[in-house]
Amino acid sequence: MDFFQAIVMGLVQALTEYLPVSSSAHIRILGDLMIGKDPGAAFTAIIQIGTELAVILYYRRDIIRILGAWFGSLFGKEGKDVKSRLGAHNPDTQMGWYIIIGTLPILVMGLLFKDMIETTLRNLWITVTVLAVFGVLLWFFDSRSKQAKTMNQMTWKDALLFGIGQMLALIPGVSRSGGTITFGRAMGYTREAAVRVAFLMAIPAVFGAGILEAVSAVKDVSACSAGDAAACTAIGAFPGWGPTIAAAIVAFFVGYVVIIGFLKFVSTFSYKAFAIYRIGLAVVVALLLITGVLPAIDPSVA
């Protein structure tokens, strides 16, 4: 991967990370079309940190408020009894617990099925299928469900269902925001509330995983430089630190603008356009697979 290709990857990551269209599917597909292979975990993890930093910057006041309330309640600021420590008197504390509950499914399943997620589930036929299926589901629930519930009405059961929607994004093509938003709209949450939950709930899952994978990537890059063939295979098409950091910076700045635009969009329009895009992309990728332009399985992980 050269410098220009790395920048394009960073741009695509920023444009698709927050939209319900699956950034992992786009990076996977674009990698095959541009460089003939999956861009690799090292590069992908680092540019994802760029987009998550944009989320943290945008929601910094909410994050600081929720963290402050959560720790304050936990240490008895709202009362010394168990219910008070768990946020019975503070909605921000409750939201902190809901984010934790919603993070557990993706954390547990990600650890249990790590090898399958990185190999079998990256088959592009699976990606095509879930792109189309979740496009239809998003369209259906967004058009049929009421916009009645706000974040203040969330319960621990709702948080768990949001988390299951996010967990399904371990399958490339589902989309982290798409899965969370679809489950939210199915439960009757407003479009704005579903998006906000999706963004906040993704922070610990994506940022935490990105940091861990980036640390691993640093080790692999160092080992590859020292002549370790296995480490070189692990980093895939890693273009070097200069292009990778540049791509992460692009992902950060463009991602911040995309967040603002997306939130304004959903305050006025439905998710129909994104659903149609998902279905259309699924059809295009299926045709590319059938004609042999794209391989279903990356040769480097086959």
Instruction: Please check whether residue 124 is in contact with residue 290, taking contact to mean a CB–CB distance below 8 angstroms.
Output: no
- CA end-to-end span of the chain: 20
The predicted model gives 273-298 an average pLDDT of: 92
Decide if 298 is inside a domain.
Answer: no
User: Model-level pTM greater than 0.85?
Assistant: yes
The predicted model gives 112-133 an average pLDDT of: 88
Decide if 53 is inside a domain.
Answer: yes
Please give the pLDDT value at position 41: 67
Decide if 108 is inside a domain.
Answer: yes
**Which structural domain, as residue segments, surrounds residue 21?**
3-291
Integer CA distances (angstroms), 49 to 44, 80, 205, 250, 272, in order: 9, 38, 11, 11, 29
Integer CA distances (angstroms), 227 to 15, 29, 165, in order: 36, 29, 41
pLDDT of residue 162 exceeding 60: yes
Decide if 302 is inside a domain.
Answer: no
Which tokens hold the place of 264?
């304004």
Please give the pLDDT value at position 234: 63
Decide if 299 is inside a domain.
Answer: no
Decide if 163 is inside a domain.
Answer: yes
pLDDT in tens, 183-238: 999 999 999 999 999 999 999 988 887 787 778 777 777 787 777 777 676 666 67
Decide if 296 is inside a domain.
Answer: no
Instruction: Please check whether residue 238 is in contact with residue 217, taking contact to mean a CB–CB distance below 8 angstroms.
Output: yes
pLDDT in tens, 251-285: 999 999 999 999 999 888 899 999 999 999 999 99
Give me the number of domains the chain comprises: 1
pLDDT of residue 297 exceeding 90: no
- How far apart (Å, rounded) are the C-alpha atoms in residues 279 and 287? 13
Q: Highest-confidence range of 61-65, 210-214, 290-294, by mean pLDDT?
A: 61-65
Decide if 115 is inside a domain.
Answer: yes
Confidence of residue 163 (pLDDT cuts 50, 70, 90): very high
- How far apart (Å, rounded) are the C-alpha atoms in residues 233 and 37? 12
